[in-house]
A and B are shown apart, each in its own frame.
Chain A
Amino acid sequence: MIDFTHVSLRYDGAPRPTLDDIDLHVEEGELALLVGPTGSGKSTLLRATNGLVPHFTGGLLTGRVTVGGRDTAEWQPRDLADLVGLVGQDPASTFVTDTVETELAYTMESLGVGPQTMRVRVEETLDLLGLADLRNRPVTTLSGGQAQRVAIGSALTAHPRILVLDEPTSALDPQAAEDVLSAIRRLVDDLGMTVLMAEHRLERVVQYADQVVEIAAGRIVRSGDPCRVMADAAVVPPIVRLGRLAGWTPLPLSVRDARRRARTLRDGLPEVPPPRTTHAGLPGRVLASSHGLTVRYGRVEALRGIDFEARAGEICALMGRNGAGKSTLLSVLAGLVAPTSGTVEVGGVVPRRSTPRELVRRVGMVPQDPADLLYAASVAEECATADADFDVPAGTCAALLADLAPDVPASRHPRDLSEGQRMCLALAVVLSGSPDLLVLDEPTRGLDYSAKQRLGAQLARLAATGHGIVLSTHDVEVVATLADRVVVVADGEVVADGPAQRVVTGSPMFAPQVAKVLAPLPYLTVGQVAAALEQVA
Chain B
Amino acid sequence: MRRPSAAHDFRHPRDLHPGAWWAWALGLAVAASRTDNPVPLVLLAVVAGFVVAMKRTDAPWARAYTMFVRIALVVVALRVVLQAVLSTNTQGTHLLVVLPQLPLPDWVTGIKLGGPVTWEAVLSALYAGGQLAVVLVCFGAANALASPRRLLQLLPAALYEIQVALVVALTFAPQLVVDARRIHNARRLRGRRVRVRTLFRTTAMPVLESALDRSVALAAAMDARGYGRTRHLPRSRRRLTSALSLAGSGGLLVGLYGLLSASIRPALSIGAVLLGLALATTALVLGRVRATRTRYRPDPWALPEWLVAGSGALVAAVLVWSSLHGTGGLTMPSATAVPPLAPVPLLAILVGLLPALVAPVPAASAATPAPRSVEVVPS
Tell me the A residues contacting B by CB distance below 8 Å.
Answer: 47, 50, 52, 55-57, 76-79, 81-82, 84, 86, 88, 90, 93-94, 96-99, 101-102, 105-115, 118-119, 122, 133, 135-138, 140-144, 154-155, 158, 297, 299-300, 302, 321-325, 327-328, 331, 334-337, 355-357, 359-360, 364-365, 367, 371-375, 386, 389-390, 415, 429-430, 433, 491
Contact = CB atoms under 8 A, between A and B. Distances in A.
Interface string B161-173: 0000001000000
B220 A52 contact: yes
A365 B220 CA distance: 33
A86 B227 CA distance: 14
Contact of B367 (A55, A135, A371): A135
Contacts of B189: 334, 336, 356, 360, 364-365, 367, 373, 430
B373 A390 contact: no
A79 B229 contact: yes
Given A136-B364, A143-B375, A373 B296 contact: no
Interface stretch (B201-209, B280-288, B310-318, B328-336): B201-209
B193 interface: yes
B102 interface: no
A109 B224 CA distance: 13
A52 B219 CA distance: 11
A136 B363 contact: yes
Nearest to B227: A110
B197 to A, nearest CB: 14
Interface of B: 59-61, 147, 149-150, 167, 182-183, 185-186, 188-193, 201-203, 205-206, 209-210, 213-214, 217-229, 292-298, 363-364, 367-368, 370-371, 373-379
Interface centre among A110, A112, A155, A158 (most CB of B within 10 A): A110
Given A300-B376, A373-B189, A158 B226 contact: yes
Contacts of B60: 138, 140-141
Contacts of A154: 225
A372 B217 contact: no
Given A78-B229, A112-B294, A331-B378, 12 more contacts: A50-B224, A81-B225, A109-B294, A118-B294, A136-B363, A297-B376, A300-B374, A323-B375, A336-B378, A337-B378, A357-B192, A389-B192
Nearest to A330: B378
A373 B224 CA distance: 32
A114 B294 CA distance: 7
A88 B376 CA distance: 22
Contact of B374 (A155, A321, A323): A323
Contacts of A357: 191-192
Contact of B293 (A110, A322, A429): A110
A86 B224 contact: yes
B178 to A, nearest CB: 9
A141 B368 CA distance: 13
A175 B150 CA distance: 33
B218 A337 contact: no
A302 B376 contact: yes
Contacts of B222: 94, 96
Contact of B217 (A93, A141, A356, A359): A93
